[in-house]
Structure 1
Amino acid sequence: MSIPLPPLPSVPGDADWKPAGEEVVKVLSEEHRRITSLCGRLTDSDVDAVERARTAEVVIATVTRHLSAEEQYVYPAVAGTLEDGRSIADREIAEDREILLTLQSFSSTKPGDADFDRLATALCGQLQRHTEAATGELLPGLREIASEAELIRLGNRVQVAEEAAPTRPHPGTPATPPWNKVVDPAVAVVDKVLDVVTRRPTYPSDL
């Protein structure tokens, strides 16, 4: 069975041809490990307040980009490929909305606030569940069915989508194609202007 990829550029007819890039399973697995590491830093009370505040901004931006790309490309592939894929994708989209709502509340706090530690712990718990669902169900299912070339092409699309994704949570925006592919990049323009103006850190490399 072939994975129902979103519209992508045409490829050579050679069956042995393999595109450049990393397959989606590796891309997302590395991102999940990175997010888990950031959560460890975020919830570590031994990290000083300034660095925890900067880490919080990076977590918010990283997770927002990650969820946007998954909703644009990964969940549609899951819905069209895996057994009971539609209900799995719907479940993950609903969980994503809850994560975005937590991110939205968390973004208005800072270390020392009464809600900062509570929301940081709640957020990291939600992200742990998200990672477990991906590593235990979604990604193994895609790898079992899709070809290596398909997985690489999907990984490429996820990475491109992340670069054009919002860096702040917008839980009210569309969560499914085609509208999220239109709205997310448009919203991202405003987010990125604000990031530049405020010199906000948005990548782990900024820490």
Structure 2
Amino acid sequence: MNQHTDVVELLKAQHTRIRELFDEVANTKGEDRKRHFHDLVRLLAVHETAEEEVVHPFARKNIDGGELVVRDRIEEEEKAKRVLSALEDADTDSPEFLDRFTALREDVLAHADSEERYEFAHFHRVADRGRLENLARAVQAAEALAPTRPHPGTDTAAKNLVAGPVAAVIDRTRDVVRKAMG
């Protein structure tokens, strides 16, 4: 993404990549499936962390009904984090993995659609292009420092702080985000 990408463009492009990775996991086997699944887990973890640190606070503050919209998205994210954590050490070629993975895929893709429809769709109305570009830079900064594995129960910065090993990462993320947002 270039420096003039706004946050909605960035997040939608990531959703597209997440959809592609789901397809790659579903359509491969063995080591290829493991590698694609690892890439998917990493992208989902950093993407959700950045949303928790940057996107959701912006939505809460700036869109009508933002608190409720974000609460619903966080519930969806937490469900996905729990399933991802359970799948992380599973045999990716087992029938159990594929069943749970298929359910996860449906949930995550529905979640992405809900974010785009109920959260991101309002951003161009409540912020100018420059602000949305700054938010994109903040998301990228948060992702650069985000945990690369899902951490269920850490849906807010405060909960991330009590998560233990993630605390230092969240502190650095918050500092970089604040700097990027000016």
Q: Distance in 1 between matches of 2:167 and 2:131?
A: 24
Q: Which amino acid aligns with 1:23?
A: D
Q: Which one of the candidate residues 160, 168, 181 is aligned to 1:186?
A: 168
Q: How many residues align?
A: 166
Q: Which protein has the bigger helix share?
A: 2
SS for the counterpart of 1:83 is coil
In the alignment, is the contact (CA less than 8 A) between 1:29 and 1:135 conserved in 2?
yes
Q: Which amino acid aligns with 1:51?
A: D
In the alignment, is the contact (CA less than 8 A) between 1:72 and 1:181 conserved in 2?
no
Q: Which one of the candidate residues 35, 38, 48 is aligned to 2:21?
A: 38
Q: TM-score, normalised by structure 2?
A: 0.84
Unpaired runs of at least 5, structure 2: 171-182
Runs of 4+ in 1 over 4 A off after TM superposition: 181-185
Q: Which range is displaced more, 118-127 or 152-161?
A: 118-127
Percent of aligned positions that are identical: 27
Q: TM-score, normalised by structure 1?
A: 0.74
Q: Distance in 1 between matches of 2:167 and 2:157?
A: 13
What's the counterpart of residue 40 of structure 2? 59
Q: Distance in 2 between matches of 1:30 and 1:181?
A: 29
User: What do you get for the CA RMSD once the two structures are aligned?
Assistant: 1.9
Q: Which one of the candidate residues 136, 139, 145 is aligned to 2:117?
A: 136
Q: What pairs with 1:71-86 in structure 2 (closer than 5 Å)?
A: 71-86=52-67
Alpha-carbon shift at residue 53 of structure 1 (Å): 0.9
What's the counterpart of residue 108 of structure 1? 89
Alpha-carbon shift at residue 48 of structure 1 (Å): 2.9
Alpha-carbon shift at residue 81 of structure 1 (Å): 1.1
Q: Which has the higher contact order (CA 8 A, sep 6+)?
A: 1
Q: Distance in 1 between matches of 2:161 and 2:70?
A: 17
